[in-house]
């Protein structure tokens, strides 16, 4: 217990760092995922190609390699930002590919007649997608999107290897101070458990309210 009580501020700083990474990267992933899902189902061929390329490249690229590319590669092209911002970009872009596919699968569950009926009323593609298709698709994608964001929270641990303040990185300091590695990781694991259970509870509430009854 003394590992936690004597280093509570260190754990707290790491915990808040992980929460910030998770929140900001999740928002970026949801926005990019929505945009790319729209491209994937777009009637415009170039948009579909863009969405397909985005998903194919990011889903088949190791996240650690993407961190190296963003945090160490972008500064070489003159883009200098705090490492935390780079970490958010890497996590958000990587996760957006999985969010995109979850949304696309939800869109595919909506009967084609819904879109055809909307177009027969003179709605544009954007209007059909935003007012007819997505509201119905949203109900079926709550569980997979929640699971993807839980994975994002755990993937944020990679950022600690790139000088970004987050929960897993606290073990380095604790190890240097001579604390038990086992108990250090026990409290770190508890911190991640709190974050993932919070996300799970949030999406469980959303699913209970808006999810598709099975």
Q: DSSP characters for 171-203?
A: HHHHHHTT--HHHHHHHHHHHHHHHHHHHHHHH
Rounded Cα gap, residues 83 and 163, in angstroms? 7
What would the mean pLDDT of 157-178 be, rounded to a whole number? 76
- 3-class secondary-structure state, position 21: helix
Does position 28 have pLDDT exceeding 90, yes or no?
A: yes
Rounded Cα gap, residues 43 and 155, in angstroms? 34
The pLDDT-based confidence of 197 (bands split at 50, 70, 90) is: very high
Higher pLDDT, 4 or 34: 34
Per-residue pLDDT, 179: 65
Does position 2 have pLDDT exceeding 70, yes or no?
A: no
Closest to 17 measured CA to CA, from 195, 197, 137, 205? 195
φ, ψ (nearest 5 deg) of residue 201:
-65, -40
Per-residue pLDDT, 214: 46
The pLDDT-based confidence of 21 (bands split at 50, 70, 90) is: very high
Does position 100 have pLDDT exceeding 60, yes or no?
A: yes
CB-based contact 211:143 (threshold 8 Å): yes
């Amino acid at each position: 217990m003394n590992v936690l009580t004597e280093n509570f501020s260190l754990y707290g700083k790491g915990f808040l760092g992980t929460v910030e990474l998770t929140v900001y990267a999740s928002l970026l992933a949801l926005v990019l995922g929505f945009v790319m899902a729209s491209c994937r189902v777009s009637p415009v061929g170039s948009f579909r190609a863009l969405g397909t390329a985005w998903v194919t490249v990011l889903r088949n690229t190791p996240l650690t390699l993407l961190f190296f590319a963003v945090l160490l590669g972008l500064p070489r092209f003159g883009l200098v930002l705090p490492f935390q911002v780079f970490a958010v970009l890497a996590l958000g872009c990587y996760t957006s590919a999985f969010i995109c596919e979850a949304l696309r699968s939800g869109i595919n569950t909506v009967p084609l007649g819904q879109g055809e009926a909307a177009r027969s009323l003179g709605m544009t593609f954007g209007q059909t997608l935003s007012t007819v298709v997505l509201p119905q698709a949203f109900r079926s994608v709550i569980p997979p999107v929640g699971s993807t964001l839980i994975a994002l929270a755990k993937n944020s641990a990679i950022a600690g290897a790139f000088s970004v303040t987050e929960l897993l990185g606290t073990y380095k300091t604790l190890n240097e101070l001579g604390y038990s590695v086992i108990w250090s990781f026990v409290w770190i694991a508890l911190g991640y458990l709190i974050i993932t259970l919070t996300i799970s509870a949030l999406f469980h509430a959303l699913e209970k309210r808006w999810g598709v009854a099975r």
